[in-house]
Amino acid sequence: MSNAPANLKGLEDLLSRGYSLSILNAHLVVNDVWYVNHAGELAKGSLGAPLTLDEEDKVGAPKNHQMYWSGSAPHFADGTPIPLGAAKVDNVSIGGTEYPWHLSNKPPEGFAIYTGLIEHYVALISGPAEQKFSVTPRTGAVYEVSEDASPFKVTDTFSARAEITDLNAHLANERVAIIGLGGTGGFVLDFMVKTPVYSIDAFDFDAFAVHNGFRAPGEIPFDMFGQAKTALYRRKYDAFRHRLYFHQLRVGACDAEHFANITFAFICIDDGESRAEICAMLRTLGVPFIDVGIGVEKENGRLDGLVRTTLFDEMTYDRAIADVPLDKDEGEGAYRTFVQIAELNALNAALAVIRYKQMRGFYADDAGLFNSLFSVGLSKMMGAA
């Protein structure tokens, strides 16, 4: 039996309408079914039904009018239970998920095909949630994507619609390292997690403190304060993609073995001495990389500064090394004092990732800058090619 719904005849209507389907343990599973629970809150479950095949690649008629349900009892928006003929059964396990409910709500005409069966139950369960919370059960998500098929654990449907799959091929064999998961490094990771490179190795040795929360991408989970940044970002992104590796390590000159297979690196740290060691190590390994930095000062009651993106490869290294700070930061400079500047961190990261993609042929690169500076006060980009 095929594990890919798209390979089975008879499911085309459901897929074209945006339902997220999986084939698990000889069951057809509908993912992302939103509903209103007993407390009037938004919740999500899955529906499952035994899968009947007329042929190896062709779906037959449903076994019966019943389905399994993984959530709690669904309710209408006014708080009354939805009549689904639900019976609590011994948990049925489908693909590692427990389905404690057996639903039986049969219209007079019954169900000749799976489209009718699924749309009937999804409409009953998700209708109130769609009305109350403006959600949709038709997410189009494809889960359980194998490592061989994609770096992502969910199918990237946007690339096909945007017709950029040929450009993604420029990145398919890239093994990227991100050194430092602070303000800018966290955003670099956020952008690269969604980029179809083969693998990502992320390095950091520090803990996630309260001030880090003001310049980190996305959700700020309070229960992660004091824990390793690598643990925080593993929790954020591990479910999204394959081959995402985190290393609790302060990278130095003696850590070359971690970069033997790396094809590109981002350096996102503010320690000049460590930067010097890492730059030298990566040059010896022949790994091209981008170093980032932000310099901020308070002038006339306002903040002004520069956002730097510096590309190092075999052609630019000698010139680039002169443009980055390699001395130890002894003081609490303006950047460390005015830490609530997430937009500058995000800008620094975006410019770095864009420059990387330019280098790999994904974006156009007419200027060919190896060092670029964005002036906050002037709203202007400067650089050297």
Mean pLDDT of all residues in 155-172: 75
Task: Answer whether residue 235 shows pLDDT above 90.
Answer: yes
Kindly state whether residue 141 falls inside one of the protein's structural domains.
no
Q: How far apart are CA 235 and CA 55, in angstroms?
A: 41
What's the CATH code of the domain at 246?
3.40.50.720
Q: How far apart are CA 360 and CA 380, in angstroms?
A: 25
Task: Answer whether residue 248 shows pLDDT above 60.
Answer: yes
Task: Answer whether residue 217 shows pLDDT above 90.
Answer: yes
**Residue 3's pLDDT band (boundaries 50, 70, 90)?**
low
Predicted TM-score of the model (pTM): 0.74
**Residue 364's pLDDT band (boundaries 50, 70, 90)?**
very high
Q: Are residues 286 and 184 in the same domain?
A: yes
Task: Answer whether residue 216 shows pLDDT above 50.
Answer: yes
Highest-scoring range by mean pLDDT, 50-64, 100-114, 181-195, 288-302: 181-195
Q: Are residues 70 and 168 in the same domain?
A: no
Q: Are residues 277 and 358 in the same domain?
A: yes
Pairing label, strands 199-204, 175-179 = parallel
Mean pLDDT of all residues in 205-220: 91
**Can you give the pLDDT at residue 160?**
55
Q: Work out the number of other CB atoms within 10 angstroms of the CB of residue 176.
A: 23
Cα 117 → chain centroid: 33
Q: How far apart are CA 187 and CA 351, in angstroms?
A: 11
Angle between helices 342-359 and 183-193 (to 10 degrees): 50
Cα 238 → chain centroid: 8
Kindly state whether residue 78 falls inside one of the protein's structural domains.
yes
- Specify the 3-state DSSP secondary structure of 135: coil
Q: Are residues 204 and 68 in the same domain?
A: no
**Residue 57's pLDDT band (boundaries 50, 70, 90)?**
confident
Kindly state whether residue 368 falls inside one of the protein's structural domains.
yes
**Residue 55's pLDDT band (boundaries 50, 70, 90)?**
confident
Each as own residue / partner, the long-range contacts of residues 165-173 (CB below 8 Å, 24 or more positions apart, any chain) are: 167/361, 167/362, 168/196, 168/362, 170/360, 170/361, 170/362, 171/195, 171/196, 171/197, 171/357, 171/360, 171/362, 172/196, 172/197, 172/198, 173/198, 173/263
Q: Which amino acid is at 256?
A: A
Task: Residue 272: give the domain boundaries.
Answer: 157-384
287 vs 53, residue with greater confidence: 287
String of DSSP letters for 224-277? GTTSBHHHHHHHHHTTTBSSEEEEE----TT-GGGGTT-SEEEE----HHHHHH
Kindly state whether residue 151 falls inside one of the protein's structural domains.
no
Q: How far apart are CA 361 and CA 338, in angstroms?
A: 36
Task: Answer whether residue 164 shows pLDDT above 80.
Answer: no
- Condensed to tens digits (0 to 9), the pLDDT of residues 272-320 reads 899 999 999 999 999 999 999 998 888 899 999 899 999 999 999 999 9
Residues 246/230, Cβ–Cβ less than 8 Å: yes
Structure tokens at 177: 């390292």
Task: Answer whether residue 331 shows pLDDT above 50.
Answer: no
Task: Answer whether residue 339 shows pLDDT above 80.
Answer: no
**Can you give the pLDDT at residue 1?**
45
In total, how many domains does the chain have?
A: 2
Q: Are residues 87 and 166 in the same domain?
A: no
**Can you give the pLDDT at residue 373?**
95
**Which range, of 45-54, 170-179, 253-262, 323-332, averages the lowest pLDDT?**
323-332
Q: Are residues 299 and 365 in the same domain?
A: yes
- According to DSSP, residue 52 is labeled P
Kindly state whether residue 145 falls inside one of the protein's structural domains.
no
Please choose, from the candidates 322, 292, 41, 17, the residue with its C-alpha nearest in 3D space to the C-alpha of residue 140: 17
Structure tokens at 263: 């094809």
- Condensed to tens digits (0 to 9), the pLDDT of residues 140-157 reads 998 877 777 788 887 676
**Can you give the pLDDT at residue 330?**
44
Percent of the chain residues topping a pLDDT of 70: 94
Task: Answer whether residue 338 shows pLDDT above 70.
Answer: no
**Can you give the pLDDT at residue 156?**
74
Kindly state whether residue 280 falls inside one of the protein's structural domains.
yes
Alpha helices in 101-153 (DSSP H): 114-133
Kindly state whether residue 152 falls inside one of the protein's structural domains.
no
Mean pLDDT of all residues in 70-89: 89
Pairing label, strands 66-69, 87-94 = unpaired
Q: How far apart are CA 349 and CA 183, in angstroms?
A: 9
Mean pLDDT of all residues in 309-332: 84
- Specify the 3-state DSSP secondary structure of 302: strand
Percent of the chain residues topping a pLDDT of 90: 68
Measured CA distances, 225 to 70, 169, 190, 220, 294 (Å): 33, 38, 19, 9, 25
